[in-house]
Structures are given as C-alpha cells and as structure tokens.
C-alpha cells in the first residue's frame, strides 16, 4: 500500500516540478510512437484496403497472416530488427542501431499488421455496401480505394488508435534496438523498466501513472478529432 | 458533436500543426561526438554513470551513450561491433574477447565485491561465514530459497562459479528452492525480499537499494567474491567503423588519476561503491 | 445534346447463372431512346438482375449485351443507376454529388453549378451541407436521383426506387423521373407496383421466372396482355404464380 501511495506522490511530484528529464522522455515517447503510427498508417491502411478490395491468389493466406501478426511479440521484433541493424547485420552500415529511428522501425513492424488487419475488416464491410454504387459511378480501383478509406475514417481512426496504444505501451522491442540510452533513446516504457530493475517501484509506478495520463490525453484528442470526422455519420 | 464548418477547419489545422511540431521538435541531445559503451546493469543501477559521465563530458565534450545490459549481452553487442567500448565485470570472458581479436586492449578499472544477502531469519545459518562456496552448500543442504539472476550476467557467472566450487548443481532444483529470476540486479533483490530468499548481489547495487530491502549481508570478505571491473576497447581492425580514438580517450580518462578520483568519490550514504584500481 | 446516343440497347439470348441456377433464361430484347421502359414482374422474376446486366455491373453467362450507338466509347460513362436502397457516402449531400461528378472528370468549377441545379430540382437545396446519412430514407432516395441527374446520363436505370417509400415520397420521386425523361434521358426502371407502372410506362416488359414473356407498348399491354400470366398479374391474382401448368411459350 505504501508503494502505491508513494507512486502517486512520485507521479505528482514529477509532473508538478516539470521535471526536464521527464519532459524529454515523454516527448521522445510521443515522437517515436506517433512517427511509427504515421508510417504504419501510410502503409497499413492502403494495404488493408487493397486486401479487402482485390481478389488475387494467396489473398486468404495474407488475411490469416495479417491477423496472426497482430499478436507478434515485441521482443521478437526487437531481436529481428537488432540483427538487421547490428553492425554485423545486413543494414549495419547505416549505423541506425541505438537511435530513435531504429525504435520507429521496430514499432512500425509491430503496428502495421494491427492497422492493416483492422482496416481490412472495416473496408471489407464498407465495400459490401458500396461496391455496386461505386462501380456504377465508374470509379477506378484507385478512386474506389480512396473513397473507402475516407468514408471509413471514423472506424479507421479506431484502428490507428489501437496501433498507437500498442506502440506507446511496448517495451520489449524499443529496449533492444534503442538500448534505453539516457537522453538519446530512453522512453516512458524503458524508463519504467529501468526503475523496476533498480528496485525503485514507486518511481516506476509514478512514471506508469504519467504514461496512462498521456494515453488518456491522446485518446481524448482522438475523440475530438473523431467528432470532427464524424460529420456524415448516421444519427 | 457537430461543429460548424469553420471551427472544424480550425480543429484540423490545430491537429496538423501539433503533429508537425511533434515530429520536428529537436530531441534533447544534438548528436555531436559520441561513443557507445556496452555495460552492465549493476553499474547503471548503482548510479555510477550519472556520476561519471557529466564530468567526462564537461572535460572533453564527448557524449557517452551507455547501453546497460547483462554482461553476456554486452559482450555479444561488442562482438557484433555495436559498441565502441566494453565496461563489464567478468575478467575471463573479457580476456577471451581480446584474445579472439575482438578487443584491442583491456584495463583493470575498479572493483568492489559480491555479498551473499538473505533474510534475517537465515534458515541455512550462514551468517558470518567467510567462504561463499561453503555458505551456498549450506543453503542447498536445507533447500532454503535462493534467487539467481539467471541472465548470464557477470554476477550470474560468478554465482555459478561458486556453486561449482561448492560441488552443487542447483539447476536441477530450478523452480523449487532455486529460482532463476532472469532479471537485473535490482529486480532480483526485490524478488529475494518478497520470497525471503538468499541471493548473490554486487555491493554497489546493494548499497544503493538496501534501504528498501528487508535483507541483510550474511557473507562477505571471501577473496573469491572480489568483483573486478575492466574496460575493453573494441578493435578497429575487426570493426573498422568503431570510434576507436574517442573510445580510447574515455578509457584513458577512466584509468587516469582524474577518472580514478571520480570513481573514488562516488559514494552513497558516505559509503564508497567502487574502489579504483587501475595500474 | 450534341453527343450521339449510345442507344439502342440490344440483348441477344442473354442468360445468367449463379450457383448452378439459371436466373435469366435466354432474354432477347431491344430498347431505343425515347419511351420510358418499365420492367414488371413479381419478386424473384429477375428484374434486378436484368437491370444490372444492362448496366454492366454483372456479366452474362451466355449471350451478349450490345450498345449499338457506343461507337467505341465506354457505355457506362453515359449511364447512371438508382438502387433500391440508396447508397450514401459518409459525406455531405453536396459532396455525394461532387464525388460522382469528379469520377466523370468534370472540372471543379462546372461541378458547383451542376450540384446546385440537381439539388434544387430535387428539392434538396437546403440540405447541401448536411451529412447525407442523416437524411430520411425518402430524402436519401431523392439524393440518389439528384446524383444521377447531375451526371446528365443518356440512360438511367432505376431498380424499384420507391419500393420502401410512402405515397408522398413516391410522388416526388416520380416527378423527378418524369422531368429527367423530358430532358431526354432514357428511363429503364423496374417495379412491381402496378399503379406506378400505369402512371409512368410508355412501354412495358413483363418478366417471369427469368424469362421475358411480353414486351409491348404500355397502352397495348394494359388493355390486354397477350400472355396469360401477365394478365393474371394485372388482375392482381395473388396465387397466380402457383399456376405452374401455364408454362409460357418458348421465346
């Protein structure tokens, strides 16, 4: 019990004193996860829509794989990205290991399947409704895809948020490829893991409380955006 | 919620501006000259780097980025060329690292010691013993709970060596009285407190955490528990991209009188955590 | 319109099969520009399928659909269709029309006028900025018509556009259809509402169990259909479809 009380005190004190290290960590967490989700959305949304729209050999297998990849363990992704970006690995010359870029890459791999799989479901449901009308109007596949992505925007925002939730809460992958270097690659989750390993549970939980508050702020912002996007939804 | 068209546009602009500001905000540290050091969780958890690095950076302008992992993983990182410098505490593997050509030089840096800690009740009755191996044998004899790091770290390697000296293979009992945490030193000490178990800890982490732990030192002073830290340069011949010159500057600073004094001056509650011993 | 018409439309022995069931059986017909064509028949006769085949949304299993006036142009570009259940994009009323116009590559400055005209003539002018899916069912169907009208198609297919509407809403829709026909759009529409057929039809096709049984001018058809099933349908015999012994003559 005392630990929990201390945790709230620690969280409050961190925020109240506008701890500059905390600010840096929060900013980097947002940069990495928002960046990863932006890239994953740019890839995953059209990918999901394409799988929903087009019939091609192996499509069923892709759907199964996408759904399965939603549960990819972050540590495995981290390890794979480490092996690729390591100096001994195929992309070692880029020198990206232990940089925020490496963390973004790992999170993109984690988040893209989630966004793509959820987008596929959303777009497929919408396509059932829209197909004949869009073909009647003479929409090319590309225009049909764009129209479906735009009209599915409210549900797709939820898919993107699910991806963001995964990214911001994930520790296994960013720990391995980022290295949890102070002032360089330390984010909320790796800072929490560090405090746990130091045995400072109250501070760890305090950081956790800040992380939860951050997630709430992001989803509140998304709700505001959703309200704006939803113009055009049924009553 | 329905917004009039104009304020809807405003919300969109706001979001776009926020997103752009976020993505282009300059991260705290601008990348100038920096080196990457692969080190151990014990040195990081004790807070040594927070004490040393600002001093070095102020003197040289070189940023030192520490990746703190278990000794096994640190060696692996350095072997792959992903670090410029190695700062760990498992002398045999450090020397092998140099012998195999991955490292160009190794220096003794500092030491402290390992201690066997456990609950005050001390069910195995090992308090005050001077021989760690005998103490471990005593724990095994009564099958008192023992938490191992279990992560191939330097501490874990030392623990395994003492079990071997005691003639006990505890891995057969893994999951019963012998518990492999697979975690860092701090988490392992916390686990030992919860389980009222014994464990082997480095003195640095012990000192930095003991206020929060319900454990006490039971065995110390065994020469076999000396914990020697070394600093090893990764060979630029094996990995041409390593920042050999910068890494050498850091290593030389660490073993210089100034660096050694800085290590000597790192205390918690008036107790010195590491004793410098570069020669 | 100076653009030459894609009509006449001809179907040559068109059949359509799905899941081994023959849903349309060797339908041959020819429709020319001008008269409003109403396709009648009970539920399940294949009216919707026939419309979709003509519009090109589905391909025939056998036979051919020919647009004699197409002259190498894509006939779909000169057609529009209103579905039984209106499909509204999740955007404003005006944006729904704008989307259809943009697909036809109509330049943006021209679109604004086309949208305003179509909305005004369907009585939706006040709703331009309202989300389309907030409209009532009848209003949505009017918007679907407005969307088609803005395209100024040569041929407009309508699949039971008033099937789920009350008389007042039906009246509005029929008015719009008449107005489009007067502007030169060829109307091809299905219905199972006899009254509506009488009000709108210039010529009637009667479809039953996938076969085209009769194709006649409206006056002739309503005065006395040649086919016994059609006359039973006109008399409103509820059980007429059970009279299996009345197998129709081979087409």
Among the partner residues A196, A199, A231, nearest to B8 by beta-carbon distance: A231
Question: Quick one: tokens of C136?
Answer: 């009532």
Q: Is residue C139 part of a domain?
A: no
DSSP letter at C211 equals: E
For residue C192, what pLDDT band results from cuts at 50, 70 and 90? confident
- The residue ranges of every structural domain in chain A are 54-188
Domain count across chain C? 1
Confidence (pLDDT) at C237: 67
How far apart are the C-alpha atoms of C158 and C191, rounded to whole Å? 9
DSSP string, B235-248: PTTT-TTS-HHHHH
Chains that touch C (3 or more CB pairs under 8 A): A
Pairing of strands B178-180, B146-148: parallel
Report which DSSP code applies to B90: -
CA–CA gap between residue B215 and residue B218 (Å, rounded): 9
B96 min Cα distance to partner chain A (Å): 19
Mark B24-48 as b/e (b = at least 16 C-beta within 10 Å). Answer: eeeebeeeeebbbbbbbbbbbbbbb
| Residue C232: half-sphere exposure toward Cβ, Cα within 13 Å | 17
Q: Which residues of chain A have a CB within 8 Å of the CB of C132?
A: 232
In a domain, C107, yes or no: no
Who contacts C88 (Cβ-Cβ below 8 Å, separation ≥6)?
A: C96, C132, C133, C135, C140, C143, C144
Beta-carbon separation of B11 and A224 below 8 A:
yes
Query: B34-112+228-276, superfamily in CATH?
Result: Periplasmic binding protein-like II (3.40.190.10)
| Integer Cα distance of B101 and A8 in angstroms | 51
The rounded distance, in Å, linking the Cα atoms of A180 and A14 is 20
Report the SS3 class of residue C136: coil
Residue C146 lies in a domain: no
Q: What is the CATH number of the domain that holds C234?
A: 3.40.50.300
**How do residues B71-119 score in pLDDT, each as one tens digit?**
889 999 999 999 999 999 999 999 999 999 999 999 999 999 999 999 9
Mean pLDDT, chain B, integer:
89
CA-nearest of C89, C172, C169 to C132 is C89
Q: Percentage helix, strand, coil, to 5, in chain C?
A: 40, 25, 35
Taking CB atoms and an 8 Å limit, are C133 and A232 in contact across chains?
yes
| DSSP letter, residue C249 | P
C-chain residues within 8 Å CB-CB of A147?
89, 99
Per-residue pLDDT of C231-245, as tens digits, reads: 888 877 654 455 554
The string of pLDDT tens digits covering residues B196-241 is: 999 999 998 898 888 888 999 999 999 999 999 999 999 999 999 9
For residue C55, what is the nearest residue in chain A, using CA coordinates?
Answer: A136
Whole-angstrom distance, CA of residue A80 vs CA of residue A92:
13
Q: Is B186's CB within 8 Å of A199's CB?
A: yes
Task: Spell out which chain B residues touch chain A, with contact meaning CB-CB distance below 8 angstroms.
Answer: 1-3, 8, 11-12, 15, 19, 22-23, 25, 27-29, 36, 41, 44-45, 49-50, 65-68, 79-82, 183-187, 189-190, 208-209, 212-213, 239, 241
Q: Do A147 and C89 touch (CB under 8 A)?
A: yes
Q: Is B36 helix (H, G, I), strand (E, B) or coil?
A: strand
User: Do the Cβ atoms of A139 and C103 come within 8 Å?
Assistant: yes
Angle between helices A188-198 and B185-195 (to 10 degrees): 50
Say yes or no for a CB contact (<8 Å) between A199 and B80: no
Under 8 Å CB pairs connecting chains A and C tally to: 53
Distance between A5 CA and the closest CA of chain C, angstroms: 48
For the record, the structure tokens of C157 come out as 């297919």
Of C74, C81, C133, the CB nearest to A234: C133
pLDDT the model gives residue A235: 32
Nearest-angstrom CA–CA distance, C141 and C133: 11
Q: How many CB pairs under 8 A join A and B?
A: 99
Is the pLDDT at B28 greater than 60? The verdict is: no
- The angle that helices B257-264 and B244-255 make with each other, rounded to 10 degrees, is 60
Q: Which of B44, B190, B239 sits opposite A199 (nearest CB)?
A: B190
For residues A204 and A189, give the distance between their C-alpha atoms in angstroms, rounded to a whole number: 9
Look at B255-264, C9-18, C227-236 and tell me which has the smallest mean pLDDT.
C227-236
Burial class (CB in 10 A: 0-12, 13-18, 19+), B226: middle
Cβ of A31 and B27 within 8 Å?
A: yes
Question: Is residue C124 within 8 Å of C93, Cβ to Cβ?
Answer: yes
- Burial of residue A76 (CB within 10 Å: 0-12, 13-18, 19+) is middle
Instruction: Please list every residue in chain C whose beta carbon sits closer than 8 Å to the beta carbon of residue A129.
Output: 87
Mean pLDDT of A202-222: 87
Beta strands in chain C (DSSP E): 9-18, 21-31, 37-40, 62-67, 79-82, 155-159, 186-191, 203-208, 211-217
Chain B partners of A225 at a C-beta cutoff of 8 Å?
A: 11, 15
Instruction: List the single residue in A129, A138, A235 with the smallest CB-CB distance to C87.
Output: A129
Mean pLDDT for chain C overall? 89
Q: Helix (H) and strand (E) counts for chain C? A: 8, 9
Q: What angle do CA A21, A26, A32 make, to 5 degrees?
A: 125
Q: Is A85 exposed, middle or buried (0-12, 13-18, 19+ CB in 10 A)?
A: buried
User: Per-residue pLDDT for A234 more than 50?
Assistant: no
Among candidate residues B76, B71, B101, B72, the one with its CA nearest the CA of residue B87? B71
With bands split at pLDDT 50, 70 and 90, how would you rate the model's confidence at A10?
confident
* DSSP 8-state class, residue C131: B
Between CA B20 and CA B252 the distance in angstroms is 43
For testing contact with chain C, the best of A232, A233, A234, A235 (most C CBs within 10 A): A232
Is the confidence at residue B5, as pLDDT, over 90?
no
* Spatial distance between the Cα atoms of C52 and B178, rounded to a whole number of angstroms: 74
Burial B142-174 (b: 16+ CB within 10 A, else e): eebbbbbbbbbbbbbbbbbebbeebebebeeee
Q: In sequence order, what are the residues at sequence separation of 6 or more whose Cβ sits closer than 8 angstroms to the Cβ of residue B250?
A: B35, B37, B56, B62, B64, B85
Q: Which domain holds residue C159?
A: 9-87+154-242
- The reported pLDDT for the residue numbered C242 is 53
The residue extents of the domains of chain B are: 34-112+228-276, 113-225
Q: Which CATH architecture has domain B113-225?
A: 3-Layer(aba) Sandwich (3.40)
Q: What per-residue confidence (pLDDT) applies to B33?
A: 87
- Please judge whether A199 and B187 are an interchain contact, meaning their C-beta atoms are less than 8 angstroms apart: yes
pLDDT at A231: 58
- Selecting from B12, B41, B241 the residue whose C-beta is nearest the C-beta of A197 gives B41
Task: Measure in Å the smallest separation between the Cα of A136 and chain C Cα atoms.
Answer: 7
Does C23 reside within a domain? Answer: yes
Q: Do A232 and C92 touch (CB under 8 A)?
A: yes
Residue B46 has pLDDT above 90, yes or no: no
A226 CB neighbours in chain C (<8 A) are none
Assess whether pLDDT exceeds 50 at residue A27.
Answer: yes
- The minimum CA-CA distance between C125 and chain A, rounded to whole Å, is 17
Contact C131 A231 (CB under 8 A): yes
Helices A100-136 and A74-85, axial angle in degrees (round to 10)? 110
pLDDT range class, residue B192, cuts 50, 70, 90: very high
pLDDT digits (tens, 9 = 90+) for C49-71: 999 999 999 999 999 999 999 88
Chain A residue with CA closest to B23: the answer is: A31
Helix (H, G, I), strand (E, B) or coil at C14: strand
* Higher-pLDDT residue of C121, B23: C121
Q: From CA A112, how far away is CA A110, in angstroms rounded?
A: 6
Between CA B273 and CA B209 the distance in angstroms is: 12
Q: Which of B22, B36, B212 sits opposite A98 (nearest CB)?
A: B36
Other chains touching B, judged by 3 or more CB pairs under 8 Å: A
The whole-number pLDDT of residue C91 equals 92
Q: Distance between CA A43 and CA A116 in Å, rounded?
A: 8
- Report CB contact under 8 Å: A35, B82: no
Q: Give the distance from residue C77's alpha carbon to the nearest chain A alpha carbon, in angstroms.
A: 7
Q: Does CATH place domain A54-188 in 1.10.3720.10?
A: yes
């Amino acid at each position: 019990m005392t630990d929990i009380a201390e945790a709230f005190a620690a969280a409050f004190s961190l925020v109240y004193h506008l701890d500059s290290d905390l600010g840096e960590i929060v900013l980097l967490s947002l940069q990495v996860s928002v960046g990863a989700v932006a890239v994953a959305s740019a890839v995953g949304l059209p990918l999901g829509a394409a799988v929903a729209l087009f019939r091609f050999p192996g499509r069923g297998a892709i759907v199964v794989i996408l759904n399965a990849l939603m549960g990819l363990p972050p540590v495995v992704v981290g390890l794979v990205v480490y092996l690729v970006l390591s100096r001994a690995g195929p992309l070692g010359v880029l020198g990206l290991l232990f940089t925020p870029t490496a963390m973004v890459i790992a999170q993109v791999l984690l988040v893209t399947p989630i966004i793509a799989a959820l987008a596929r479901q959303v777009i497929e449901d919408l396509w059932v409704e829209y197909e004949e009308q869009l073909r009647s109007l003479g929409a090319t596949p590309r225009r049909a895809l764009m129209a479906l992505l735009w009209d599915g925007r409210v549900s797709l925002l939820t898919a993107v948020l699910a991806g963001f939730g995964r990214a911001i809460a994930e520790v296994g992958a960013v720990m391995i490829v980022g290295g949890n270097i102070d002032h360089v690659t330390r984010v909320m989750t790796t800072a929490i893991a560090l405090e746990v390993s130091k045995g400072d549970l109250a501070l760890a939980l305090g950081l956790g409380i800040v992380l939860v508050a951050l997630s709430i702020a992001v989803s509140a912002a998304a709700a505001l955006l959703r309200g704006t996007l939803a113009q055009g939804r049924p009553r | 919620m329905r917004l009039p068209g104009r304020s809807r546009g405003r919300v969109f602009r706001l979001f776009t501006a926020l997103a752009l500001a976020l993505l282009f905000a300059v991260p705290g540290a601008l990348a100038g000259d920096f080196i990457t050091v692969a080190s151990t969780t014990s040195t990081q958890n004790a807070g040594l780097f927070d004490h040393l690095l600002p001093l070095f950076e102020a003197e040289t302008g070189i940023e030192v980025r520490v990746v703190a992992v278990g000794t096994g993983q640190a060696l692996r990182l350095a072997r792959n060329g992903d670090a410029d410098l190695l700062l760990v505490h498992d002398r045999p593997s450090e020397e092998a690292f140099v012998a195999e050509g991955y490292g160009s030089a190794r220096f003794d840096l500092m030491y402290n010691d390992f201690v066997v800690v456990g609950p005050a009740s001390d069910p195995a009755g090992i308090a005050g013993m001077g021989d760690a191996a005998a103490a471990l044998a005593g724990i095994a004899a009564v099958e008192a709970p023992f938490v191992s790091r279990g992560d191939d770290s330097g501490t874990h390697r030392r623990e395994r060596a003492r079990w071997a000296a005691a003639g006990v293979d505890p891995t057969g009992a893994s999951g019963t009285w012998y518990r492999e945490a697979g975690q860092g030193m701090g988490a392992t000490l916390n686990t030992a407190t919860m389980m009222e178990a014994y464990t082997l800890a480095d003195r640095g982490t012990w000192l930095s955490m003991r206020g929060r732990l319900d454990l006490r030192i039971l065995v110390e002073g065994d020469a076999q528990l000396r914990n020697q830290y070394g600093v090893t340069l990764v060979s630029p011949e094996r990995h041409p991209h390593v920042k050999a010159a910068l890494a050498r500057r850091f290593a030389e600073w660490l073993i210089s009188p100034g660096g050694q004094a800085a290590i000597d001056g790192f205390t918690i509650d008036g107790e010195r955590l590491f004793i410098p011993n570069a020669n | 319109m100076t653009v030459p018409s894609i009509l006449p439309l001809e179907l040559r022995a068109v059949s359509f099969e799905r899941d081994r069931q023959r849903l349309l059986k060797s339908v041959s017909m020819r429709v020319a520009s001008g008269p409003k064509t109403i396709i009648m028949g009970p539920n399940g006769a294949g009216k919707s399928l026939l419309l979709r085949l003509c519009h090109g949304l589905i391909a025939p299993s056998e036979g051919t659909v020919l647009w004699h006036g197409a002259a190498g142009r894509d006939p779909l570009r000169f057609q529009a269709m209103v579905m039984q259940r209106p499909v509204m994009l999740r955007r404003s009323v005006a944006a729904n029309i704008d989307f259809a116009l943009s697909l036809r590559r109509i330049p943006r400055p021209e679109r604004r006028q086309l949208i305003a005209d179509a909305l005004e003539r369907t009585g939706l002018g006040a709703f331009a900025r309202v989300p389309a899916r907030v409209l009532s069912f009848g209003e949505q169907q009017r918007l679907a018509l407005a969307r088609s009208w803005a395209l100024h198609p040569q041929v407009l297919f309508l699949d039971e556009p008033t099937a789920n509407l009350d008389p007042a809403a039906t009246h509005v829709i029929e008015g719009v259809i008449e107005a489009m026909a007067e502007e030169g759009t060829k109307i091809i529409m299905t219905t199972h509402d006899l009254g509506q057929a009488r009000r709108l039809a210039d010529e009637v096709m009667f479809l039953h169990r996938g076969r085209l049984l009769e194709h006649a001018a409206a006056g002739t058809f309503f005065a006395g259909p040649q086919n016994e099933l059609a006359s039973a349908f006109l008399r409103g015999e509820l059980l007429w479809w059970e009279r299996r012994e009345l197998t129709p003559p081979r087409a």
